[in-house]
A and B are shown apart, each in its own frame.
Chain A
Amino acid sequence: MLEWLSDNRAYVAAVVIIMLVAMFIGSIVIGRKQTALTAKDEVFGDPERTKGGWYWAVCGVSTLLLIWFYFSWGVGRAYFPQAANEMCQVAKLEEVISPIKAALPLGSRYYKSTLLVGRNDVQLTTLRNDFPANAFSAAEQAELKDLIVQIRSLIANSSNPTLLNQKTKDELVNLSGQIRALGDELRAGSRGLTPTAEALAQPKWGISLTEIPLLPTTSKGVLFDNVSAKAQDLTSFFRKVRNHVPVNERIIADVRERIKVLKATNEAGSFDEKTDVARKAYVKGVERIFRRLDDGNIFPAASLDGLNAAIADLDAAKDEARGSLRFVEAVFFPGQGVVKSRTQCTEQGSARWLPKPTDVVATFIQLANPDLENGGGYKGTTLLWWKWLPIADVVGFFFPDWVADVWPGEYARHSADGTITPNFKDKLLSFAQGEVYLGSIPMFEGHIWDSLFRVLVALGLGILLGVPLGLFMGVSKFFKSFFDPLIELYRPVPPLAWAPLILTIFGITDDGKIFLLFMVAFAIMVISARTGASGTQLTKIRASHSLGATDRQIMWNVIMPNAMPEILTGIRIAIGVCWGTLVAAEILAGTTGIGFIENIARTVSNYELIWVTILIMGILGLIFDLIMRWVIDRTIPWRGKG
């Protein structure tokens, strides 16, 4: 069932979206009707007017979900399940011809040749102007200046259409013709083309790791796929076209020789260090520009015009062949469409970082599946499940080994016949180390539980130690003055600033995180318990004294219950802050936990997973708060009724 839903999530989404639209429209209709009904007996500014209004809540939620569906391309995938595959085929063609396009004004404003000429000219001018006159002899200076002139002539010859050699000319014309032929093929349409069986067997869009299936699954897609395969050959051919002007061949050989001579002089001569550096740098600069010019990459502008026009024609043909896809893409696929990279087609824009709601649910279901062998859980740990926990493990955790060490007597030694008879001290040690089987209890496990466990243990310790200290600080000058500086010194430091230090000291085990969270919870609990204790009415204290209560009895029977509202509010705040800190700590270091999942998801750019962890954290935080609110309402009903 789940699997079927997961595989057909596009259809599920289609139904859900229709329901959302219906809810959106319905709630607006109801809302308007209700507003009209009550308009007479309400005035603006009356807080009573905010009461009720579930229909606007429905409207808000459905709006939010529809926006999410739309910008994540959830709507597009639901109603145009083939569109992304076709867009991928179009993207293939674009990727394939991009090297040609990049050399033309169509792709980069200027011909690549124009840019090369411009850049070389600027650099040659700089070289000539920054001539280090002291470093070279007069003869060498003349030689270098002439070299620069020669190099300039290389550029001029390459740019001259009359010098263009016939072979290059033919190649370019031929290339343009073939590109126009591709355009014609696109215009001829996709009639009669059918996708291969292999293509149809591919997983659907969004189901497998390669998000968008690469092979064309529609006839239109097949057309683009065919054309892009042919265009691939043309691009490879274009890469090899060179403009080797015959006059340049001689100049190139000559310049190469002369640079060699200059370099040899540089090596042989014994110049002072400064001159040596200047000479070598200058000759190197000249050689660098020369190297760039000897490979025939500059073409006369006029010779490329035909190619530019052919590519423009191919672009036009591409748009014609896309037909309705153009419209669908513009309306239902906000962002930059689909881009083909080396190995896959990827969604661009909002769809990239905003996963579809259905994918998020599918990822969550997969994550929540406790069956680790069959792809459930994450990194070998379930999300939230249970296991049998040996009681011995718990004992081993809480019962310290040193109790056995300080127990009178010696540990057993192996006797002469090679056997060991454990004495009581040995048994105590194995008990402390959790090696004695004591039965098992069912226990939660999984990433969520690990996170919860850390927060709850830290919070428990914080309450256990912080509340009594806070209460004493509220009533005792010694406790207040002694501990106040201690707490006020560490508390203002943001918990995350402590994290690197504490995680380094404790390592990535639970201890460090629990200690970090304990610090957070402890400070909050101390301060709230203290506020609560010091706010006890004097008459209540005096009444209890007159009723015969001892100091200790007053502490636990009057001051503590009196501080309960503040303590509970403190717990509520502490949970929130601990939760926030925990996730960050798990991101910094850890091998399990919700923050850990998010961190790994981040490093592999798994946006669905990132969103799932964000949603889980939000929902758990909300649950904590609801529980605390419920507890507060139950335990201190007198609040606000004094």
Chain B
Amino acid sequence: MADLICENLSMTFTNPQSGAAVEALKDINFTLKQGELLSILGPSGCGKTTLLNMIAGFLNPTGGLASLGGNVIEGPGVERGMVFQQGALFEWLPVSKNVDFGLRMKSTDAEESAKLVEKWLDIVGLQGFGDTPTYQLSGGMQQRVALARCLVNDPDVILMDEPLGALDALTREKMQSLVLELWKETGKTILLITHSVEEALLLGERLFVMAPRPGRIHKEYNLPFAERGLKESLRDIKQDAHFSEVREEILTMIWDMEEEIMGGA
């Protein structure tokens, strides 16, 4: 079982000039079982991105460790796919070449990768766009390409840092459905950062609300909405009383945190 485990994970940034230390994260502990969908929410600067970067292997923790399937994470790897806010697509390549980038890097057989690319473009709803240059795509389509590029590599965990943050409301809703669909169909573990409370509730089987200074997990929720979202319309779920209740609770929580920061600053 490829569980993602964080044990006392900590990160302290030291400013090389002033020597001042920022405790971005302190003693993060959690276990994410295979196939779980976790969303992380928190005020800006509470260390969400830092946490994700450590799991992805871009940053080395200053304390504790993270492991996936029993292997300690010591650098980036194909088993942990990344989706960034702004696609981070290779604009000099057409869509299909972006999607099969990972396959080409491991010299996969051309025919096989062409099949895989077609399959995943189909799944993310981009059939027929294989030869389109990426700079001609809309923001939503670019994120679909990014998802396909990540999934074609068959990672165990998908890490998303505010993947839908830059999209307009309508596109965003469609993409939220897509993420839920992908989660169901692939059974991948997904860790998704967002700053939208609604999104966190909709796309989180589990939900961590993080608090800043030092960055830590403030409260954890187990939510039914993601499961429901596979069958019901997302808009109906948002009308749900339970949904509104939790949303208000979290909003108040974050509001208080922000107050505290402002007051402290």
Q: Which of B80-88, B231-239, B250-258 contacts A (4 or more CB under 8 A)?
A: B80-88
Given A542-B56, A638-B133, A638-B135, A547 contacting B153 (CB threshold 8 A): yes
A540 touches B153 (CB 8 A): no
Contact of A546 among B77, B90, B92 (CB under 8 A): B77
A547 touches B105 (CB 8 A): yes
B135 touches A545 (CB 8 A): no
| CB neighbors of B among A530-579 (8 A) | 537, 539-540, 542-550, 553, 557-558, 561-562, 564
Number of A-B contacts (CB under 8 A): 74
Tell me, in angstroms, the Cα distance from A549 to B75 when the chains sit together: 12
A543 touches B88 (CB 8 A): yes
Given A548-B102, A549-B105, A542 contacting B153 (CB threshold 8 A): no
Quote the shortest CB–CB distance from A11 to chain B (angstroms): 57
Q: Which residues of B lie under 8 Å from residue A636 when comparing CB positions?
A: 92
Question: Of residues A542, A547, A550, which shows the largest number of chain B Cβ atoms within 10 Å of its Cβ?
Answer: A547
B106 within 8 Å of A (CB atoms)? yes
B78 touches A548 (CB 8 A): yes
B56 touches A638 (CB 8 A): no
B76 within 8 Å of A (CB atoms)? yes
Interface majority SS on A: helix, strand, loop or mixed? helix
B221 within 8 Å of A (CB atoms)? no
Interface size on A, residues (CB 8 A): 23
Q: Which residues of A lie under 8 Å from residue B75 when comparing CB positions?
A: 545
9 interchain residue pairs of minimum CB distance: A545-B76, A547-B102, A539-B88, A548-B78, A638-B135, A546-B82, A638-B91, A561-B92, A543-B88
Contact of A544 among B86, B101, B155 (CB under 8 A): B101
Given A638-B133, A638-B135, A542 contacting B102 (CB threshold 8 A): no
A637 within 8 Å of B (CB atoms)? yes
A558 touches B84 (CB 8 A): no
Task: List residues of A whose CB falls within 8 A of some B CB.
Answer: 537, 539-540, 542-550, 553, 557-558, 561-562, 564, 636-638, 641-642
Tell me, in angstroms, the Cα distance from A540 to B86 when the chains sit together: 10
Quote the shortest CB–CB distance from B260 to chain A (angstroms): 31
Q: Which residues of A lie under 8 Å from residue B84 when comparing CB positions?
A: 539, 542-543
Tell me, in angstroms, the Cα distance from A256 to B65 when the chains sit together: 119
| CB neighbors of A among B155-178 (8 A) | 155
Given A543-B84, A546-B80, A638 contacting B58 (CB threshold 8 A): no
Question: Of residues A537, A548, A641, A642, which shows the largest number of chain B Cβ atoms within 10 Å of its Cβ?
Answer: A548
Q: Which residues of B lie under 8 Å from residue A638 when comparing CB positions?
A: 91-92, 133-135
Q: Which residues of B lie under 8 Å from residue A558 when comparing CB positions?
A: 90
B206 within 8 Å of A (CB atoms)? no
Q: Which residues of A lie under 8 Å from residue B144 when comparing CB positions?
A: none
Quote the shortest CB–CB distance from B35 to chain A (angstroms): 20
Give 6 CB contacts A-B under 8 Å. Answer: A539-B88, A540-B88, A547-B81, A548-B105, A548-B106, A562-B90
Given A548-B105, A638-B134, list of 17 further CB < 8 A pairs? A542-B58, A542-B84, A542-B88, A543-B82, A543-B146, A544-B105, A546-B56, A546-B82, A546-B155, A547-B78, A547-B149, A548-B78, A557-B90, A557-B101, A558-B90, A638-B91, A638-B135
A546 touches B76 (CB 8 A): yes
Which chain B residue has the least Cβ–Cβ distance from A548?
B78
Tell me, in angstroms, the Cα distance from A543 to B57 when the chains sit together: 11
B58 touches A545 (CB 8 A): yes
Q: Which residues of B lie under 8 Å from residue A548 when comparing CB positions?
A: 77-78, 102, 105-106, 153
Q: Which residues of B lie under 8 Å from residue A550 when comparing CB positions?
A: 105
A542 touches B82 (CB 8 A): yes
Which chain A residue has the least Cβ–Cβ distance from B75?
A545
Given A547-B101, A548-B105, A550-B105, A542 contacting B76 (CB threshold 8 A): yes
Tell me, in angstroms, the Cα distance from A357 to B36 when the chains sit together: 82
B91 touches A642 (CB 8 A): yes
Tell me, in angstroms, the Cα distance from A463 to B231 when the chains sit together: 58
A540 touches B105 (CB 8 A): no
Tell me, in angstroms, the Cα distance from A539 to B53 when the chains sit together: 11
Q: Which residues of A lie under 8 Å from residue B135 when comparing CB positions?
A: 637-638, 641-642
Q: Which residues of A lie under 8 Å from residue B76 when comparing CB positions?
A: 542, 545-546
A553 touches B105 (CB 8 A): yes
Quote the shortest CB–CB distance from A601 to chain B (angstroms): 47
Tell me, in angstroms, the Cα distance from A247 to B86 when the chains sit together: 112
Which chain B residue has the least Cβ–Cβ distance from A637?
B133
Q: Which residues of A lie under 8 Å from residue B91 when comparing CB positions?
A: 638, 642
Tell me, in angstroms, the Cα distance from A381 to B229 when the chains sit together: 81
Tell me, in angstroms, the Cα distance from A561 to B91 when the chains sit together: 9
Question: Of residues B56, B76, B81, B149, which shows the largest number of chain A Cβ atoms within 10 Å of its Cβ?
Answer: B76
Q: Which residues of A lie under 8 Å from residue B155 when comparing CB positions?
A: 546
| CB neighbors of A among B102-144 (8 A) | 102, 104-106, 133-136
Tell me, in angstroms, the Cα distance from A546 to B58 when the chains sit together: 9
Quote the shortest CB–CB distance from B70 to chain A (angstroms): 20
